[in-house]
Chains A and B, each alone.
Chain A
């Protein structure tokens, strides 16, 4: 049934075309808007291009949704890979004889990141290390505090140490300008492990023994 000419338009002209379509399809609500509407008649608008606009808006929404999900995928994959790198680095730290753990852990993290393809520019080119080659790159901390509330000591009487390798990194976000947000999302990955208190016995079994690698 056509509208009377006295009725005022509820929606602006463009939305008059879109909203009925969306509500009809998605919400199953019918809003009676027809080509006899005074606004539409006065602006000489017709039904042509209606589908194009509908399609455009749906495409925009679908594209946003898809890229949003892809962005989540990238964040999750980065998180997993960096966690794996921090796990491997912590393990390496927990069995090293190097005295400067900080430098060793940074070197190990860098090596692992390259082998993982995270900073090679091949696999995930949109990832940046936080301040590459600086102290912020991979922060390794060690505590000599208690473990599970207990003071656990080694043979030499010193506390057993926990080691924590934390990697701070940033993932570049897609379409960040649209939302006025930051270019990068700050993320971190970490792993912890306990180191053997008897580092000097990493390569020999007892005080006067030959080293493991030495052949008879």
Chain B
């Protein structure tokens, strides 16, 4: 006789927990789905945050570059404009417009060495004006150096502050990326290279002015000469050979070991996945729709602003009067007077012609720092995101 044993007694003691295995399986599926959802959400969120971080950082660096170039362009213009007021004293006061010879200003004021003490038959050397001019130029150069130092520190401050937490972003000027072999990390003093700029090594030669005064036949005559006083090695900023490449490449990474990734991915061991490093790229560039603003070659030419040109006219007129007074004086000398007067008239014409040419060149030469700034300051340097390739 076969003894009937209930199935219930054979396997289980009672009915409890029959749904439990099913419930556990479904719960596992649900939990893995949730974990996947949270993992994907975090990855997507991380990538978006990182992309925004790289965009923001690279654009911030480009904006810093644009602002620095604008300020440096303005100070370059100021420096060159002050130098453009300088004279080239050769009997009379010629406008210099060249850093090869910088004497006291053609415009009366604190930079001028064209001084007459009203004494008869008296000569004296004046260097107060050119000293003031040199001090001002050096002060502007110092301001430029401090602007670049600020740029250098701000550059790294941006890399530190702008990226989101746990995101590391580096931004490199594209000109260094394309020419890594020749890349040297600029020092604090040579950080203008980051901007694509360098100092003009043509230098500035300063001259003091010798004033000769004489009274002849109740008229006062004033002629000038010059003597080298000092020489400085550098002047304004000019472009380096790869200044045209004003693009920045930004690269960002969020490592799996980042603090914020602790505990992720959820159920890593169960699902068998590893958290990847999230990366993002971006590029930004600096541009000026009106021109480069900085000279592309090292040159001694300052260029000339219209206002400065107008400011020079009184002293140019004064020099012509000197010629006229001398002509009047020598014309009265018998026999030799007429040819001497004619020579003086020719000299006056030569002076007028030379001065006109200088001023005209200064106003029209578009390679000088003054004219380049005047041409491009309306557009100004600006920044925008650009394609990476």
Chain A positions near chain B (C-beta within 8 angstroms): 51, 55, 58-59, 62-63, 66, 69-70, 73, 76-77, 80-81, 83-84, 87-88, 91, 94-97, 155, 196, 198, 201-210, 212-213, 215-216
Contacts and interface: CB of A to CB of B under 8 A. Distances in A.
Contacts of A209: 244, 292
Contacts of A208: 291-292
B361 interface: no
Contacts of A63: 26
Interface in B336-389: 376, 379, 382, 384-387, 389
Given A62-B22, A77-B37, A198-B289, A70 B387 contact: no
Interface string B1-32: 00000000000000100110011001101100
B376 A206 contact: yes
B51 A96 contact: no
Contacts of A203: 386-387
A55 B382 contact: no
A55 B285 contact: no
B34 A66 contact: no
A106 to B, nearest CB: 18
Contact of B22 (A59, A84, A97): A59
B18 A51 contact: yes
Nearest to A66: B26
Contacts of B142: none
B297 to A, nearest CB: 14
B76 interface: no
B44 A73 contact: no
B292 A76 contact: no
Contacts of B285: 201-202, 205, 212
B41 interface: yes
Contacts, number: 117
Nearest to B69: A205
B81 interface: no
Contacts of B27: 66
Nearest to B247: A212
B292 A206 contact: yes
Interface residues of B, number: 48
B139 interface: no
Contacts of B245: 205, 210, 212
Nearest to A68: B30
B44 A84 contact: yes
Contacts of A155: 289, 379, 382
B26 A62 contact: yes
A157 B101 CA distance: 44
Given A88-B51, A212-B285, 19 more contacts: A58-B19, A62-B23, A66-B29, A70-B29, A76-B37, A77-B36, A80-B40, A87-B51, A96-B387, A155-B382, A198-B384, A204-B287, A205-B286, A205-B287, A206-B244, A206-B376, A207-B290, A212-B386, A215-B178
B41 to A, nearest CB: 5
A202 B246 contact: no
Nearest to A88: B51
Contacts of A73: 33-34, 36-37
B7 to A, nearest CB: 11
B48 interface: yes
Given A196-B385, A198-B382, A210-B244, A51 B15 contact: yes
Nearest to B242: A216
A80 to B, nearest CB: 5
A97 B51 contact: no
Contacts of B286: 205
Most buried by B among A62, A205, A215: A205
A45 B40 CA distance: 52
Contact of A59 (B19, B178, B241, B291): B19
A94 B26 CA distance: 45
Contacts of B33: 69-70, 73
Contacts of A76: 37, 41
B47 interface: yes
A201 B289 contact: yes
A201 B287 contact: yes
A202 B386 contact: yes
A190 B285 CA distance: 27
B179 A215 contact: yes
Contact of B288 (A51, A96, A205, A213): A205
